[in-house]
Structure 1
Amino acid sequence: MLAKFQNHINQSLPFLKGKKLLLATSGGIDSMVLLELCSQSKLDIRAAHCNFQLRGYESDEDEKFVKSQCEKLDVLLFVNHFDTKKFAEKQKLSIQVVARNLRYDWFNTLLINNDYDYILTAHHLDDSLETVLINFTRGSGLDGLTGIPQQNGNIVRPLLPFSRNEIVTFAKKNKVKWREDSSNASDKYLRNKLRHNVIPILKELNPSLLDSFEKSISNLQQAQTLVDDASRIVYRKVVTDINFQKRINLSEFMQLPNYQSYLYQWLEPFGFSDWNSINDLVIAQSGKQVFSETHVLLKDRNELILFPKQNEIEPVNFLISKDQKEVKFPLKMAFCNVDDISVQTTNTIFVDEDKLQFPLVIRKWQEGDWFYPSGMIGRKKLSKFFKDEKFSLLDKSSTWLLCSENQIVWVIGKRLDEQFKVTESTTKILKINYTA
């Protein structure tokens, strides 16, 4: 296997040679074999181990084992401890998703801080087969049936051409030690059910299953490149990227044949899986939403808007003192006194400073808020103002208010309150500018 591994590096991954490599090392047989192969191949490696503190004593023993093996191989080791359950509860995500995010966020931090080049993981051919079967059982598109990619940005998987049997054989022949994760023997997770109960039957039916799988993956990956090309062309025509939002123009989009296929290509990477609800959303009324674990897809009149979920936090007030000339957070705003007013815009207002009570407050809107919209007679509930102005749910959630005591001075970037505008009797004019 060593010769095959070195040949694979030379032919398919030559860019790894001479680079600083960070090897994800759990202590299991796959990562320990990859550590041994890289060491024998004289690649420039260092290791990183995550203790997710999910299996108590076992997790701590895994850490001790990895430390001892890295010392024997004279490989620099980084270790990090994560309170994974606490992170999962706080972020309202699954343990698996949180663990993956923590792992790769830390790996990338190590790369940046130490000027390393690539992260190596020990995924192999059987892992790729399991992933394809998982995606197939969940209703995947073409991209979910193309297996685990050999390279994804700075993440490289040098063991993908190798089977689990090859890895086990190498480990035993070369006396490579490893730790067994007791959770791998459980059928609690779908991957383990497929590994223990389904794949052995498939291999019994076709002893050359992995060879056939490799050929199928190669063909499907070529087909996927054609799909990706078409998807990019259509994306440029109907999708607008604004800050952290993606806005899909439905007027143009729905004229395309099989537009649902494009939605899948664009949305699947953001964790969406309820495709019936997404297809229904296209023709639903404004305000309807579909959620993934990390993102929201909103129907807003003639658009679908994709944006990240916002963590729910307690309302926060940001205070502005009388002598303060600039605000940088949560919005960029500037304050200055002027002798007369120029053209007032949505981002620039002029107010009567004597009518203000300092400190001013920047805050989010709340139910029950009302103000006197400039140019109108009488007061209006902010919720009614939003409705009349055709604000989407996203627009409302991102709206900030500038307040004087309990009164709204400005729906920032939208409308000034009539009570604070400059009049003939005004002696102090305060210009307030907001930079979007």
Structure 2
Amino acid sequence: MHRKLVRHIEKEELFNRNEKLLIAVSGGLDSVVLLHLLHKMEMDCVVAHCNFQLRGQDSDGDEDFVINLGKEYNFPVHSITFETTDYAKENGISIEMAARDLRYNWFETIRKENDCQYILTAHHADDVIETVLINLARGTGIHGLTGIKAKKGKLVRPLLPFTREEIKTYAEQNELEYREDYTNIQTDFVRNKIRHQVIPVLEEINPAIQKTMNENVRRFRDVEQIYNQDILKKRLSFVDQEEGRLLILIAGLKKLTSPVSHLYELLQPYGFHSRGIVNIIESLDSISGKMFYTENYQLLRDRDYLVLTEKGEKDFREYQLDKNDRIELGECVFESKLFDRPLEFKFSTDPHVACFDADKLTFPLKLRKWKEGDMFHPIGMKGRKKVSDYFIDNKFSLTDKENAWLLVSGEEIVWLVGHRMDDRYKITKDTLSIYQVSVG
């Protein structure tokens, strides 16, 4: 196994002999074998162990075991204790996902602090099969059928060519001690259900299921490369980027032979899953305005485009704008000036400039985003109108609504910035002082 591992590392260029490595060691069979192999290779290693506090005293026993193992091999050991259950509840995720988030974030921190080139984990051939089956059960594209990569960024998995049985045989031959995790035989976790309930049934159908699945994975990886080349080529015809937004031309998407697959591959990195993609496709023939969300992103079905943007909290703060003032709010710069009305005054035709009767205003004015229930008297129209109705009538997209500013005097809206003034504050023949506001 040692010689086979060395050949695999060299062939796949996983890491060099002179590089420093961070090894994730749980104390179980797989990670203990990986650590032993690296010790035989005389690699420069740092050990990282996570205590997730999920098995009481057994978890503490794992930590003690790994610390002593590090001393035996003369490898420095870093360990950390996580409040895994609390983290899962606070973030609304499973224990499995919580443990994954916590350990990989910490591994990267420790890697940098110790000047390690890579993080090594002990995933093996059986894990590849389990991962593919889990992805199939949850819904996936072609990428989810390619299993676990041997190297991805700073993360390296040297044991992927080996089965669990090979690893166990190596441990027995070398009389290696390791910790047994009793939760591995429980079927509360998805991976354990696949391992103990699904794979045995597949082995009854095909005793060589492990070999067959690994061959399938190799073919899927080849297919993925061809598939991705076509996806990237077609993407040029219907996807564009503009000021931090991803614009997906609906007409272009509809022309594709398989719009669902193209949209899935485009949006999956942003947290959109298969069911959500189908819902988005079904919305293409409906009216604009529908929104779709993931944890960090939002997708708007606008008139001609699907518009993907990063989610941000709506700003409900108010900003003061005085008589002769200048303030910057994000990409908008507001400038104001107060002056006596000249004998010959000409109104600006620029929608980004508004002039008001200064004597009707209460200073300082305020700038804020709109909220439900806001009303004003649009100039040139009779009576009051809800700002939200004005948006609808003038076909504002949701992005336009979120970016809209209101200029407010006291509690009254005097200007939907860049669009329409309030009739009550317009300049008349009796106006003596003018308050001008421009936005750029």
What is the TM-score with the length of structure 2 in the denominator?
Answer: 0.81
| Residue of structure 2 equivalent to 1:184 | 184
| Residue of structure 2 equivalent to 1:381 | 386
Question: For residues 42 and 12 of structure 1, what CA distance do their matches in structure 2 show?
Answer: 19
| Residue of structure 2 equivalent to 1:5 | 5
* CA deviation after TM superposition for structure 1 residue 129, in Å: 0.3
| Residue of structure 1 equivalent to 2:281 | 279
Percent sequence identity over aligned pairs: 37
Decide whether the 8 Å contact of 2:85 with 2:95 is kept in 1: yes
Decide whether the 8 Å contact of 2:321 with 2:364 is kept in 1: yes
Question: For residues 95 and 425 of structure 2, what CA distance do their matches in structure 1 show?
Answer: 51
C-alpha distance after superposition, 1:391-422 (max 9, x if no partner)? 33454345555545434455566656566678
Residue type matched to 2:125 in 1?
L
Decide whether the 8 Å contact of 1:124 with 1:160 is kept in 2: yes
C-alpha distance after superposition, 1:231-272 (max 9, x if no partner)? 111222211234554331111111121222212222333241
What are structure 1's unaligned runs of at least 5 residues? none
The answer to which of 56-65 and 263-272 deviates more is 56-65
* CA deviation after TM superposition for structure 1 residue 386, in Å: 2.0
The equivalent position to 1:392 in structure 2, one of 389, 397, 402, is 397
| Residue of structure 2 equivalent to 1:18 | 18
| Residue of structure 2 equivalent to 1:77 | 77
C-alpha distance after superposition, 1:216-244 (max 9, x if no partner)? 22111111101001111122221123455
Partner-residue secondary structure (3-state), 2:274: coil
* CA deviation after TM superposition for structure 1 residue 54, in Å: 4.2
| Residue of structure 2 equivalent to 1:262 | 262
The answer to which of 28-37 and 214-223 deviates more is 28-37
| Residue of structure 2 equivalent to 1:368 | 373
The answer to which of 411-420 and 99-108 deviates more is 411-420
Question: For residues 71 and 325 of structure 1, what CA distance do their matches in structure 2 show?
Answer: 64
Decide whether the 8 Å contact of 1:29 with 1:168 is kept in 2: yes
Question: For residues 162 and 84 of structure 1, what CA distance do their matches in structure 2 show?
Answer: 30
Question: For residues 138 and 66 of structure 1, what CA distance do their matches in structure 2 show?
Answer: 34
Residue type matched to 1:101 in 2?
D
Question: For residues 178 and 418 of structure 1, what CA distance do their matches in structure 2 show?
Answer: 80
Change (3 A) 1:217 1:290: same
Indicate the structure (1 or 2) with the bigger Cα radius of gyration: 2
Partner-residue secondary structure (3-state), 1:161: coil
Change (3 A) 1:185 1:345: farther
Decide whether the 8 Å contact of 1:271 with 1:294 is kept in 2: no
The answer to which of 2-11 and 226-235 deviates more is 2-11
Question: For residues 44 and 3 of structure 1, what CA distance do their matches in structure 2 show?
Answer: 18
Question: For residues 353 and 176 of structure 2, what CA distance do their matches in structure 1 show?
Answer: 69
Residue type matched to 1:149 in 2?
K
Question: For residues 413 and 67 of structure 1, what CA distance do their matches in structure 2 show?
Answer: 65
Question: For residues 343 and 99 of structure 1, what CA distance do their matches in structure 2 show?
Answer: 61
Decide whether the 8 Å contact of 2:375 with 2:385 is kept in 1: yes
C-alpha distance after superposition, 1:330-376 (max 9, x if no partner)? x35555555789978677767788835448454x4321012344665
What are structure 2's unaligned runs of at least 5 residues? 340-345
Residue type matched to 1:159 in 2?
L
Change (3 A) 1:429 1:393: closer
Question: For residues 351 and 78 of structure 1, what CA distance do their matches in structure 2 show?
Answer: 66
Give the aligned CA root-mean-square deviation in angstroms.
Answer: 3.7
Question: For residues 37 and 353 of structure 2, what CA distance do their matches in structure 1 show?
Answer: 63
Question: For residues 418 and 70 of structure 2, what CA distance do their matches in structure 1 show?
Answer: 57
C-alpha distance after superposition, 1:108-145 (max 9, x if no partner)? 34445555432222221111101111222334332221
The answer to which of 384-393 and 190-199 deviates more is 384-393
The answer to which of 283-292 and 152-161 deviates more is 283-292
Decide whether the 8 Å contact of 2:379 with 2:422 is kept in 1: yes
Change (3 A) 1:260 1:29: same
User: Is 2:176 the counterpart of 1:169?
Assistant: no
Change (3 A) 1:66 1:260: same
Residue type matched to 1:301 in 2?
R
Change (3 A) 1:110 1:281: farther
User: Is 2:432 the counterpart of 1:425?
Assistant: yes
| Residue of structure 2 equivalent to 1:29 | 29
